[in-house]
């Protein structure tokens, strides 16, 4: 027999004890490397196909099972074969990545569309389960979604095979495999979606095989095909055994199949769902999960609850406006105009740059909403002038912030709107042609202030837009420019730390919701010498009144309205205002009419994006989602703001804590297993277990012990290095007891056990 490598020429028989040796020929027992790698490729295939199949079948997504199985099987076996030897491994991975990324580039559109199809179907299932409405979906470019899903999942499977192969084929790291193949499948599990049995068996079977092989040590892959290996210190190490590997794979897979089928028979889906009761922990998480489904990861942070993104002048710290569509106010009134009903809550006078907020306007006289205008309109009504009127609005505060929600123009400032109570406001509406003229003594210079840090950006913006003309012309030009050039979105992304809200919106963000448009417009108007101030409140359109309003037949029209009405005599209605109706607008000062409403927010829908690679940014920024309108593709630069970094840091910290807990549990389980095994064993095994633990401790202090391969050599070493002390008779007795305990069928007695145990303490 050839000894092969040079170092093996010095291999000798290994002496276990007197008269017992291991023949050196066992070093040259070989296994079939390709067959072993093939079996490991099967395990990787089971894990990947089981994971993807479970998800797709649970969410009920159509795909080509034969093609997907074939691609994942071939790639799994191919990845496993990369460990045939070092050259194949090093060169193979390089070629694999070159081919993989080249193919990804070619099939990018199919991967994009297939990925979005899976996401859309998942969102649809989640929306049904959580009873969500108005959840938008991603745009799918490829009309044949069956093919797109199949192609996309093929590439997902290849990526999974590459990852799993690193941890499975060589090291059988089942603790790493579990999160890779299980994590995404927690989504359908959470929504009580059941996968097909075959994929469940494949997934659980693959995990079981990984665990069994890890525990049995029948998996090691080295540079040669030897079943047993010897390290530089001549220690014998077991590598793998093909026959044992195959037998354990078969037994484990059959066991998993039997268990899955038994559970399916014992707990049929219909009967299980009928008796299923959600636990309290799931109930507590459902609101958060709803946010994540609707908003992406930003549903976990960066939102203003129940306010439509409005927070009494505070701006900027929001990735996405979270809307719950629950009723904030119930407003009872008689419709009198086609115009929007504005309920004024907050007035911002001074803008604080970089603090990103509007200071409460202390100059406004809160004896009335726009006091001079209110008094002039009341006087016109009392004198019976044309186009004058008086109305009443009742505001029932369901769950909005405490404050006043004034209709234009009212003097009932004492009627505070408190949650759970109604507040009644008398007001005097203004119509085109109303015969009033305002003569104000108010200092309007306060409403012309533009912070110096905003002036340059506003000047550049206005020059680019080309605003010019009279006050009314400039106002209309700003409204038109917003409508045509800056899209409205409730997913604007948070203003980056260290940036000013208005400057960032005008120069870089270039998209926003009402607070963005109203804040910037207020300073733009001031820049042109038009007195302006920032307003927050609720806006209820005439169409909303018609669609959502409910007739209140118990109330009389005459009790709620008197005077001119564009609509003629109508009726009393009640309409709900939700956080979707929370709004921001601008008031500008007209020399004749006083403070008037200017609503600059565009009426356009959300922007869209359909690129696969931008999806990573979309996830962090809630995703640029689309509806069924024409697709608009826009490439954006990838940027992660501080809030995302904070989230990632917290996530990593959580993972570290989880890892520490897992390690602690593993250690605890091992200790418990050791104790159970110890007390179930006889005296021989107990003594060997005690001695093994002692030897492990001593090896750390005396590295030379590693070269001692049997009890005699180890005890002699300990005596020679004065770790143990005593005469030769004591030493020989310890060796004799250990060899009988380790190799003899006869049980040692209690006195011998105690003798060695006391010495090893």
Tell me the per-residue pLDDT of 419-429, one tens digit each, with 9 for 90 and over. 888 999 999 99
**Beta carbons of 493 and 510 less than 8 angstroms apart:** no
**Beta carbons of 591 and 439 less than 8 angstroms apart:** no
Tell me the per-residue pLDDT of 371-418, one tens digit each, with 9 for 90 and over. 888 888 999 999 989 999 999 999 999 888 888 898 998 888 778 888
Q: What is the pLDDT of residue 632?
A: 33
Q: Extract the tokens encoding 322.
A: 């979270």
Distance CA 215, CA 237 (A): 15
Distance CA 582, CA 713 (A): 84
Distance CA 97, CA 162 (A): 10
Instruction: Give the gyration radius of the chain's Cα atoms.
Output: 38
DSSP line for 675-725: HHHHHHS-HHHHHHHHHHHHHHHHHHH-GGGGG--SHHHHHHHHHHTTSS-
Distances 157 to 47, 53, 526 between C-alpha atoms, Å = 10, 10, 58
Section 192-212 average pLDDT: 82
Q: What is the pLDDT of residue 222?
A: 59
DSSP line for 147-200: HHHHHHHHHHHHHHHHHHHHHHTTT--HHHHHHHHHTTTHHHHHTTPPPPHHHH
Which range is least confidently modeled, 27-31, 200-204, 600-604, 718-722? 27-31
Q: CA geometry: angle at 625 spanning 624 and 629, to 5°?
A: 120
**Beta carbons of 704 and 721 less than 8 angstroms apart:** yes
**Beta carbons of 634 and 607 less than 8 angstroms apart:** yes
Section 242-269 average pLDDT: 67
Section 66-77 average pLDDT: 90
Burial class (CB in 10 A: 0-12, 13-18, 19+), 80: buried
Tell me the per-residue pLDDT of 609-664, one tens digit each, with 9 for 90 and over. 333 334 334 444 443 443 333 333 333 333 334 444 455 556 666 666 777 787 78
Q: What is the pLDDT of residue 5?
A: 40
- What number of residues does the chain have? 761
Q: What is the pLDDT of residue 4?
A: 39
Tell me the per-residue pLDDT of 670-692, one tens digit each, with 9 for 90 and over. 888 888 888 888 888 888 888 88
Q: What is the pLDDT of residue 473?
A: 94
DSSP line for 113-153: HHHHHHHHHHHHHHHHHHT--S--B-----S-HHHHHHHHH
Distance CA 672, CA 664 (A): 12
Distance CA 218, CA 243 (A): 10
Section 32-41 average pLDDT: 78
Q: What is the pLDDT of residue 628?
A: 38
Q: What is the pLDDT of residue 16?
A: 62
Distance CA 120, CA 601 (A): 30
Tell me the per-residue pLDDT of 109-155, one tens digit each, with 9 for 90 and over. 888 888 888 988 888 888 788 776 555 567 777 888 899 999 999 99
Asked whether residue 13 carries a pLDDT value surpassing 80, the answer given is no
Confidence class for position 14, pLDDT limits 50, 70, 90: low
Secondary structure tally for the chain: helices H, strands E: 24, 16
CA 236, chain centre distance (Å) = 48
Q: CA geometry: angle at 122 spanning 116 and 128, to 5°?
A: 135
SS (H, E, C) 472-537: HHHHHHHHHHHHHHCCECCCCCCCCCCCCHHHHHHHHHCCECHHHHHHHHHHHHHHCCCCEEEEEE
Q: Give the domain ranges of the chain.
A: 32-221+248-273, 327-620, 681-760
Distance CA 119, CA 623 (A): 11
In degrees rounded to 5, what are phi and psi of residue 689? -65, -45
Section 345-353 average pLDDT: 91
Report if pTM > 0.85: no
Q: What is the pLDDT of residue 33?
A: 72
In this predicted model, which residue has the larger pLDDT, 702 or 716? 716
Distance CA 685, CA 166 (A): 37
In this predicted model, which residue has the larger pLDDT, 615 or 260? 260
Q: What is the pLDDT of residue 133?
A: 57
Asked whether residue 522 carries a pLDDT value surpassing 70, the answer given is yes
% of the chain at pLDDT higher than 90: 22
**H-state helical runs in 268-370:** 269-275, 280-295
To the nearest 10°, report the CA torsion of 744, 750, 751, 757: 80
Tell me the per-residue pLDDT of 449-500, one tens digit each, with 9 for 90 and over. 999 999 999 999 999 999 999 999 999 999 999 999 999 987 787 787 788 9
Q: Extract the tokens encoding 340.
A: 């929007």
Closest to 626 in 3D by CA, of 162, 111, 138 = 138
Mean pLDDT of the chain: 78
Q: What's the DSSP call for residue 287?
A: H
In this predicted model, which residue has the larger pLDDT, 372 or 364? 372
**Beta-carbon count within 10 A of 593 CB:** 16
Q: CA geometry: angle at 101 spanning 97 and 105, to 5°?
A: 170
């Amino acid at each position: 027999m050839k000894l092969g490598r040079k170092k093996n020429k010095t291999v000798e028989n290994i002496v276990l004890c007197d008269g017992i040796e291991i023949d050196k020929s066992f070093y040259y027992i070989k296994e079939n490397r390709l067959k072993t790698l093939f079996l490991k490729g099967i395990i990787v295939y089971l894990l990947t196909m089981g994971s993807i199949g479970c998800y797709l079948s649970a969410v009920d997504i159509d795909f080509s099972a034969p093609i997907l199985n074939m691609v994942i099987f071939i790639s799994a076996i191919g990845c496993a074969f990369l460990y045939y030897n070092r050259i194949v491994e090093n060169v193979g991975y390089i070629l694999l990545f070159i081919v993989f990324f080249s193919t990804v580039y070619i099939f990018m559109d199919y991967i994009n569309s297939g990925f979005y199809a899976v996401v859309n179907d998942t969102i649809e299932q989640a929306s049904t389960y959580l009873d969500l409405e108005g959840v938008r979906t991603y745009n799918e470019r490829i009309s044949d979604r069956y093919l797109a899903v199949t192609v996309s999942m093929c590439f997902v499977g290849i990526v999974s095979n590459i990852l799993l192969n690193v941890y499975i084929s060589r090291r059988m790291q089942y603790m790493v495999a579990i999160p890779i193949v299980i994590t995404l499948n927690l989504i359908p599990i959470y929504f009580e979606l059941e996968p097909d049995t075959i994929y469940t068996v494949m997934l659980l079977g693959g995990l079981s095989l990984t665990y069994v092989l890890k525990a049995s040590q029948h998996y090691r892959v080295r540079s040669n095909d030897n079943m047993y290996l010897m390290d530089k210190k001549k220690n014998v190490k077991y590598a793998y055994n093909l026959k044992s590997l195959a037998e354990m794979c078969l037994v484990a897979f059959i066991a998993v199949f039997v268990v899955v089928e038994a559970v399916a028979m014992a707990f049929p889906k219909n009967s299980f769902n009928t008796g299923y009761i959600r636990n309290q922990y799931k109930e507590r998480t459902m609101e958060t999960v709803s946010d994540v489904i609707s908003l992406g990861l930003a549903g976990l942070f960066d939102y203003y609850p129940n306010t439509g993104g409005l927070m009494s002048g505070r701006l900027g710290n929001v990735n996405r406006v979270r809307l719950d569509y629950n009723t904030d106010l119930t407003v009872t009134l008689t419709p009198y105009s086609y115009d929007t009903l504005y309920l004024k809550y907050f007035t911002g006078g001074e803008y604080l740059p970089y603090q990103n907020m509007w200071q409460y306007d202390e100059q406004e006289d809160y004896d009335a909403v726009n006091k001079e205008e209110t008094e002039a309109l009341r006087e016109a009504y009392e004198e019976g002038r044309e186009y004058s009127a008086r109305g009443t609005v009742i505001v029932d505060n369901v769950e909005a912030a405490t404050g006043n929600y004034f209709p234009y123009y009212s003097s009932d400032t004492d009627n505070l709107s408190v949650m759970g109570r109604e507040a009644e406001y008398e007001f005097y509406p203004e119509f085109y042609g109303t015969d009033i003229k305002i003569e104000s003594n108010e200092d309007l210079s306060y409403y012309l202030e533009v912070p110096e840090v905003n002036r340059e950006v506003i000047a550049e913006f206005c020059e680019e837009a080309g605003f010019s003309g009279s006050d009314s012309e400039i106002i209309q030009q700003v409204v038109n420019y917003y409508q045509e050039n800056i899209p409205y979105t409730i997913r604007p992304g948070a203003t980056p730390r260290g940036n000013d809200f208005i400057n960032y919106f005008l120069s870089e963000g270039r998209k926003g919701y009402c607070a963005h448009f109203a804040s910037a417009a207020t300073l733009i108007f001031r820049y042109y010498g038009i007195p302006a101030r920032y307003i927050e409140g609720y806006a209820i359109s005439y169409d909303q009144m018609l669609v959502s309003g409910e007739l209140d037949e118990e109330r009389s029209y005459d009790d709620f309205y008197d005077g001119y009405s564009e609509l003629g005599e109508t009726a009393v209605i009640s309409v709900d205002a939700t956080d979707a109706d929370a709004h921001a607008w601008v008031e500008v000062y007209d020399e004749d009419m006083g403070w008037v409403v200017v609503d600059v927010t565009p009426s356009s829908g959300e922007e869209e994006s359909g690129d696969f690679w931008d999806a990573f940014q979309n996830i962090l920024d809630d995703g640029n989602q689309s509806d069924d309108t024409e697709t608009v593709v826009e490439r954006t630069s990838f940027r992660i703001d501080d809030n995302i970094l904070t989230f990632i840091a917290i996530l990593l910290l959580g993972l570290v804590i989880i890892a520490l807990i897992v390690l602690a549990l593993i250690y605890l389980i091992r200790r418990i297993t050791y104790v159970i095994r110890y007390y179930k064993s006889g005296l021989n095994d107990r003594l060997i277990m005690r001695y093994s633990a002692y030897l492990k401790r001593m090896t750390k202090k005396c590295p030379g012990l590693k070269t001692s391969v049997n009890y005699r050599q180890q005890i002699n070493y300990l005596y020679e290095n004065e770790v143990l002390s005593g005469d030769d008779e004591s030493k020989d007795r310890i060796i004799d007891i250990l060899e009988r305990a380790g190799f003899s069928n006869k049980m040692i007695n209690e006195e011998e056990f105690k003798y060695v145990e006391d010495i090893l303490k």
